[in-house]
Amino acid sequence: MSLKTYSIATDITAQAVSEAKLHKEIKDNFCVNGFDGVIVTGDVLEILGNSTANETLLDSLVLNHDGVSVISKSRQDILADVLTNAEPITQLPRLLNSLDKYPSVMASLDNFNYLLAYSRILLAETNGDITSEDTTLILGCFPAGWNA
């Protein structure tokens, strides 16, 4: 159910909306009871839910939302990409073994901390657990826009 609407041009300082990011911000702050999401249609931002738990907080989140999209890809998606693209006879055993030896890579990917994952992958390569080709394959599966 549509709970509240805002104008992107006049109610949001950045005059832009990242639906996924705003959804997370509202959900994490528990300011909407029965929160069902956000919808953007043209200049209109619609908040879906049953009622506001804290309307002042909701208005503040919307006003201060930066509109910047979150660079994200789930750990499972990255692993699936890596393992699907691995050369089965040579790369796959090394990659699977390195996942067991360097679980911190997976934790950092799960938290979208790609710089930490990058350093752990380079460590695995330096230690000889994976090759430079393995590293290239893994890094190629990171979402576009992350920076080393």
User: Cα–Cα distance between 85 and 101 in angstroms, integer?
Assistant: 21
Q: Where are the domains of the chain?
A: 2-64, 75-140
Burial of 62 by CB count in 10 Å (0-12 exposed, 13-18 middle, 19+ buried)?
buried
Residue 39 CB coordination number (10 Å):
13
| pLDDT for the residue 118 | 83
Pairing relationship of beta strands 37-41 and 44-48 according to DSSP bridges = antiparallel
* pLDDT (tens digit per residue) in 15-34: 999 887 898 889 989 999 99
* pLDDT (tens digit per residue) in 34-75: 998 899 999 999 999 999 999 999 999 999 998 876 666 666
